[in-house]
Amino acid sequence: MNSRDSEHIIAQLTEKEGYETTDDMPSADLILINTCSVREKPVSKLFSELGVFNKKKKEGAKIGVCGCTASHLGEEIIKRAPYVNFVLGARNVSKITEVLHKDKAVEVDINYDESEFAFDDFRTSPYKAFINISIGCDKACTYCIVPKTRGDEISIPDALILREAKRAVDNGAKEVFLLGQNVNNYGRRFSGEHEKVNFSELLRRLSKIDKLERIRFTSPHPFHMDDEFIEEFASNPKICKSMHMPLQSGSTKVLKDMKRGYTKEWFLDRVEKLRSMCPEVSISTDIIVAFPGESDEDFEDTLDVMRKVRFDQIFSFKYSPRPETEAEHFTNVVDEDVASFRLTTLQNLHTDILDEKNAAQLSKTYRVYFEDLNKDYFVSGRSDNNLVIKVKGSDELLGKFKDVKITTIGRTIFTGEVVG
């Protein structure tokens, strides 16, 4: 989502203000840093990065801080780093051309509604188009700062999404990647009058776009994984068979403390339904260890879900207390060394699972959509079920689909040869 926000900002600046992008920071007229605030570490990193930018920037260059940390710290950023020229919140991206011209501007209103704003187009990749389908988040997970930085959830009208997707496809993209904090809650609230369209219906409408071959999305919420959604996912051939199912914890008690709205049993039931309808699906997840009050038994439940589901990919983190969240005030904090031990245990278990799963991939053939030209004459892309596969080749493969047979197993990247 941050990457897409950056693309929106770049589009506004190139179309309306005549800027061009550069990788050479000391020669830039404008330096923007787009920030995350989900965990504490990126926030502290922001100020050290800003110090470096200030030292290395050329005379008169402006510095702007954008994104979720901008939303949550607001003016505080300028107080701590007075050379920052403006602060632009995650929900105020469309105002980039305004703040640019007001020194010390701080635009961080999380009630600002830009769900119908027509952003100009800029895409980092011509092959795959990220498309926002909603802004904000209506949930209140007790650990999470996102509702405080991105505001309430508003769905973007489907006509705008379809228009954006068609434009991307006309420009050569064969894949769209839909983005939202709870994509499968799409349609819950629009800003203006709008017919009832849920996520499954949006997927059906998008898949009617000729020449659009692949649809991916993130993040769906396990709570909203009803049968209609899973059936659409399984039966629609344009939807890539890779599902992100953010578990957070395998313990029903911890899930309740997190206010996630589902139980361990519901999560396992949804996985079973998904796998029974779509056996080839790959499943990834997010897990937080050492949430306040997480006992050894609770953690064992997380390991149990891991053993049962055998996730294809995990993003795992130690709980990080965040300001303005409910859990910030929870006092039953887990010791740091216990937290580290649990994270390592979880990650080691996953590595073992992955090694077993990956070994079974040797000699299998997947249809790969090539997107990246790597150094050393390799081109890489993804299979429908999200394996990253590289082959020897040139830029001629980019934007094409090929059948690839896997010849070497890696932990996260496989090597193969084109067979058709």
**Whose CA is closest to 64, among 240, 233, 49?**
49
Query: Could you give the string, one character per residue 276-305, with x where binding to ligand SAH holds by CB under 6 A and - elsewhere?
Result: ----------x-x-----------------
The two three-digit tokens of residue 61, written as one number:
């260059």
Residue 217 to residue 129: CA distance in whole angstroms: 11
Which tokens go with 25?
A: 């920071």
Q: Which is nearer to ligand SAH, 4 or 221 (CB)?
A: 221
Q: What is the 3-state secondary structure (H, E, C) of 104-162?
A: CEEECCCCCCCCCCCCCCCCCCCCEEEEECEECCCCCCCCCCHHHHHCCCEECCHHHHH
Residue 384, sorted as left (phi over 0), alpha (psi -120 to 50) or beta, turns out to be alpha
Nearer to ligand SAH, 44 or 363 (CB): 44
How many whole angstroms separate alpha carbon 315 and alpha carbon 385? 17
Contact partner, 177, from ligand SAH, ligand SF4, none, Cβ < 5-8 Å per class: none
Neighbours of 376 (CB within 10 A): 6
Helix (H, G, I), strand (E, B) or coil at 407: strand
Tell the smallest beta-carbon distance from residue 317 to ligand SAH (Å).
Answer: 4
**Taking CA 214 as the corner, what is the angle to CA 211 and CA 216, rounded to the nearest 5 degrees?**
145
Q: Specify the DSSP class assigned to residue 206.
A: H
Check binding of 255 to ligand SAH (CB under 6 A).
Answer: no
CB 180 to ligand SAH: min, Å = 8
Question: Side-chain half-sphere of 332: how many Cα atoms within 13 Å?
Answer: 8
By beta-carbon proximity to ligand SAH, the closer residue of 231 and 286 is 286
Closer residue to ligand SAH (CB): 249 or 383: 249
Residue from the set 125, 207, 313, 320 that interacts with ligand SAH by CB under 6 A: 320
**Alpha helix locations (H) across 140-251?**
146-150, 158-170, 199-206, 227-235
Nearer to ligand SF4, 317 or 414 (CB): 317
Give the strand order in the sheet containing 128-132: 128-132, 175-179, 214-218
If one asks whether residue 72 binds ligand SAH (CB under 6 A), the answer comes out as no
129: β partners = 176
Nearer CB in complex with ligand SF4: 144/176: 144
Element (H, E) at 416: strand 413-418
Taking CB under 6 A as the criterion, the residue among 73, 108, 144, 168 binding ligand SAH is 144
Nearer Cβ to ligand SF4 (2/358): 2
Site for ligand SAH in 24-63 (CB under 6 A): 38-39
C-beta separation of 218 from 388 below 8 A: no
Of 6-14, 193-201, 312-320, 383-391, the segment contacting ligand SAH by CB under 6 A is 312-320
Pull the structure tokens for residue 167. Answer: 């434009």
The piece of 8-16, 52-60, 305-313, 314-322 that touches ligand SAH (CB under 6 A) is 314-322
Q: How many residues bind ligand SAH (CB under 6 A)?
A: 16
Nearer of residues 132 and 383 to ligand SF4, judged by Cβ? 132
In the complex, the residues that contact ligand SF4 under the rule CB under 6 A are: 137, 139, 141, 144, 146-147, 181-182, 221
**If contact means CB under 5 to 8 A according to the sort of partner, which of ligand SAH, ligand SF4, none does residue 136 touch?**
none
Of the candidate spans 78-86, 91-99, 141-149, 335-343, the one that interacts with ligand SAH by CB under 6 A turns out to be 141-149
The C-alpha R_g of the chain, in whole angstroms, comes to 22
- Distance in Å, CB of 1 to ligand SAH, minimum: 8
- Residue 144 CB, nearest distance to ligand SF4 (Å)? 3
6 binds, among ligand SF4, ligand SAH, none (CB under 5 to 8 A by kind): none
> Interface with ligand SAH includes 319 (CB under 6 A)?
yes
Binding site for ligand SAH (CB under 6 A): 38-39, 143-144, 146, 181, 219, 221, 246, 248, 286, 288, 317, 319-320, 322
